[in-house]
Structure 1
């Protein structure tokens, strides 16, 4: 069988909507039940209003959830909301997991770059089944920068010790893909219909 990976390149994966799937309606229902709010999944809800600042590490969990609820939140409630939030983004895409398993088995160099709050990233790094596939994990909440800011890509490139052309970047956000492509990365835009194995195999020929 022809190997999927191309020797010498780094494979840089996003997490949300690439490795993970979207939260289910039940996930959102549980979070809404805990907050007393409705329609949190909608893009204009309080959940999303300050999410980028939370992802960038500019808000603590207490500050973020306080903004969502519109009032100070006791520590035990913050812990509950953090656990529910981590749980709803933990559902994995089996097709992506199969690709990661193949690449890892072939000895490919794997890294991850995700916009994710610090607490969630540390929880996943310690507990998730996918983290061991990666030799490098980069999270916005720990870096103080979010995609598509070119500076976060520059820091990843420098840390990997690779040229952008030697990095294959997989992400679901067209803005992130556009920035990476402009910087010289090889890119794959991941959507619900993407055959990731075929896309990567096409790049590797």
Structure 2
């Protein structure tokens, strides 16, 4: 059943998995090779400490040191950590053209656009900060700046407060179900993301006043 759009004034994007493609297995393989260990051991160590890194509890040196210790690497710490930071940044830099075009179209239609991401400050500096496409976003908040990771509703409340918006005026899009639930707990509207076509269909059904230009190629 189609619903009337509930006064959406802003659209918030997750970064990894929505605005950018998720890091590829091939990149993780190269990272494991740089560490001199098997991919499975490296990936397990990478994700074990990622939440602490993303919320700023670990700086880059401590995080990559913990990853190398966790996977059993015997490679030189400083040089290997630097190589891993570079490869990690490359891995998160593959922007999704569909969601970026949608953000551009939303802004042209008068919507406020923002990014709410679990991301360490060093990742932001290397992947996002100086990119030309950032002009399509009014506001960015990352967990590494405020010490709060999604799905904690606090990060969503901080974003809406900073922008002077009611939570009910914001639509949030994320590829992780628990983050969608966290946004809804904070009073935002939220949709899960799998691919541009599916998102366009959900928008047309649930938020028909929100434009979908750019999400789907016309030709």
Question: Normalised by the size of structure 2, how large is the TM-score?
Answer: 0.81
Quote the Cα distance in structure 2 between the aligned partners of 1:27 and 1:193: 23
Task: Give the equivalent residue in structure 2 for 1:53.
Answer: 52
Which consecutive aligned stretches of 4+ in structure 1 deviate over 4 angstroms post-superposition?
A: 5-8, 40-43, 71-74
Q: 1:200 aligns with which of 190, 203, 210?
A: 203
Contact 1:55 1:141 in 2 (8 A): yes
Quote the Cα distance in structure 2 between the aligned partners of 1:75 and 1:198: 47
For structure 1, the 5+ residue unaligned runs are: none
Contact 2:149 2:155 in 1 (8 A): yes
Do the aligned partners of residues 80 and 182 (structure 1) sit closer, same or farther apart at CA in structure 2, a change above 3 Å counting? same
> After superposition, what is the alpha-carbon deviation per residue over 1:112-162, rounded to whole angstroms, capped at 9, x for unaligned?
000011101122333334322111000111111100112112211211111
Three-state SS of the structure 1 residue aligned to 2:21 is coil
CA shift, 1:62, in A, is: 0.8
Quote the Cα distance in structure 2 between the aligned partners of 1:74 and 1:20: 29
Quote the Cα distance in structure 1 between the aligned partners of 2:6 and 2:82: 42
Size of the aligned set, in residue pairs, is 200
> After superposition, what is the alpha-carbon deviation per residue over 1:10-45, rounded to whole angstroms, capped at 9, x for unaligned?
1111001101112223212211111112225986x0
Task: Give the equivalent residue in structure 2 for 1:62.
Answer: 61
Do the aligned partners of residues 92 and 197 (structure 1) sit closer, same or farther apart at CA in structure 2, a change above 3 Å counting? same
Whether 1:146 aligns to 2:149 is yes
Whether 1:91 aligns to 2:94 is yes
Quote the Cα distance in structure 1 between the aligned partners of 2:108 and 2:122: 29
Counterparts of 1:36-51 in structure 2 under 5 Å?
36-40=36-40, 45-51=44-50
Quote the Cα distance in structure 2 between the aligned partners of 1:49 and 1:119: 18
Q: CA RMSD in A?
A: 2.5
> After superposition, what is the alpha-carbon deviation per residue over 1:162-182, rounded to whole angstroms, capped at 9, x for unaligned?
111001111111111112113
Do the aligned partners of residues 127 and 187 (structure 1) sit closer, same or farther apart at CA in structure 2, a change above 3 Å counting? same
Greater mean deviation of Cα atoms: 79-88 or 123-132: 123-132
Question: Normalised by the size of structure 1, how large is the TM-score?
Answer: 0.87
Quote the Cα distance in structure 2 between the aligned partners of 1:141 and 1:73: 27
Greater mean deviation of Cα atoms: 10-19 or 117-126: 117-126
CA shift, 1:8, in A, is: 6.0
